[in-house]
Amino acid sequence: MEEQLIQEVIDLAFQNVMEGKGGPFAAMVVRGGHIIAIATNTVTSTNDPTAHAEVNAIRQACKQLNTFQLDDCELYTSCEPCPMCFGAIYWARLRKVYYAARQEDAAQAGFDDSFIFEQLTLPSSERKIPFVCMHHHEAIKPFVLWNRMEEKIKY
């Protein structure tokens, strides 16, 4: 079954390129052998840099299942996830990820995310895009309120 689902996302990624809807990526969320969501990369057609196939599939699955955690689901994706999608996978708490192409394959096609991994290891002041901590005295107030609330949805 895994081979069939991987082939489906590869075919969908190919179709996405042919139709000009976005990059050569596709993903699906599966639960109990049933496809919950299928998505492609729509970065260029929606002008949304976060509209990667994996993120789109996670969003659709969460909406379909009315939950923000997919801990009983697997993700099938046409390529090894980028750093953003990697984070989304962990936030969604997916049970397992199956991927077809490797990061190196994507890099050879011009989708090289290695610079992001490199930036993550640098001190914030040395990053290509500077991250400046403003540490405002009121910045912790929302966290204090959150900690005091008895009725909150933890995630």
* DSSP letter assigned to residue 149: -
CA pseudo-torsion sign 66, 91, 29, 12:
positive
**150 a catalytic residue:** no
CA pair distance 61, 29, nearest whole angstrom: 7
40: exposed, middle or buried (C-beta count within 10 Å: 0-12, 13-18, 19+)? buried
Are 49 and 40 a contacting pair, CB within 8 Å? no
Q: Which one is catalytic: 3, 8, 19, 54?
A: 54
CA pair distance 132, 28, nearest whole angstrom: 37
Active centre residues (catalytic): 54
